[in-house]
Amino acid sequence: MTYVLWIIQGLLALLFLFGGIFKLVAPLEPIAQQLGVPVLLLRFIGLCELFGGLGLILPGIFRIRTELTPLAAAGLVVITVGATVLTIKSQGLPPALFPLVVCVLCAFVAYGRWRATPLTNR
């Protein structure tokens, strides 16, 4: 179970780090118009994704403040629920399956690191 959690955490961290950096450096005006949200909100979500991606892996690697990993995963669940709703609203159901799967994986990591196999501090 620990290896499965680490693999999922690593893949999710890469996904959210890439997405967060993209939202912080790319021009977001066309995307914001398509989704009907302000650019500043997308930048904020990008910052949250960046910190969430770091929170998925750094506490476990350094064994410091390991209770932050399930909190980061739970925060990313909130973000991906919002992404799923926005995708359904703007593009329909089939494209919304990807953020929904990411949401379920984040929830799995949150539960796994809270209850099933929590990380330990040094």
Whether the model pTM is above 0.85: yes
User: What does the pLDDT read at residue 24?
Assistant: 96
Q: Quick one: CA torsion of 117, 5, 50, 104, rounded to 10 degrees?
A: -100
pLDDT at 91: 92
**Domain ranges (residues) in the chain:** 2-116
Q: State the pLDDT at residue 121.
A: 84
Q: In b/e form, how buried is each residue of 36-62, taking b as 16+ CB within 10 angstroms?
A: ebeeeebbebbebbbbbbbbbbbbbee
**Which whole-number Å values give the CA distances from 34 to 16, 37, 90, in the listed order?**
21, 8, 7
Tens digit of pLDDT per residue, the chain (122 long)? 889 999 999 999 999 999 999 999 999 999 999 888 999 999 999 999 999 999 999 999 999 999 999 999 999 999 999 999 999 999 999 999 999 999 999 999 999 999 988 888 87
Radius of gyration of the chain (CA): 15
The structure tokens listed for 49 are 């994704």
d(CA 56, CA 44): 18
